[in-house]
Amino acid sequence: MTKGASASRPLSPHIQIWRFTVTMAASITHRGTGVANAGGTLLVALWVVALTIGGDFYDRVAAFFTSPLGVIFCTGYVWSLSFHLLNGLRHLYWDSGRGLAPATAKMTAWAVYIGATAFAFIFISIAGGQ
């Protein structure tokens, strides 16, 4: 291929061409929640280790989880788990060859965001009452 021929070929679409959509956001959020879930699970493991060790170490870990920052962390972790689960089910549905139409994908992306928020709210409400 000559140098002139390659210059006339179209380039991959640039980021400025794409319009940000809810399906793009769901894809990005799914990847982010996967990372957040790994980090959150490590902190939950730390809590379990502190529970087995007991004493002052447990008191410090428990103080973190009951602090305002810890409550924000726990709420975010529960939402992250909820989102990742529901979006994983959405992907499993796609694997059956259904739900791939743009309108359906958009609707299910919104449903995942709304469902994850509802699940997290319900779980936090129940756990907060204990």
For domain 22-128, is the CATH number 3.90.550.10? no
In the chain, what are the domain boundaries? 22-128
Q: What is the pLDDT of residues 29-85, one digit of tens each?
A: 999 999 999 999 999 999 999 999 999 999 999 999 999 999 999 999 999 999 999
Residues 89-128 as b/e (b if ≥16 CB within 10 A, e otherwise) read ebeeeeeeeeeeeeeebeebbeebbebbeebbeebeeeee
Is this prediction's pTM over 0.85? no
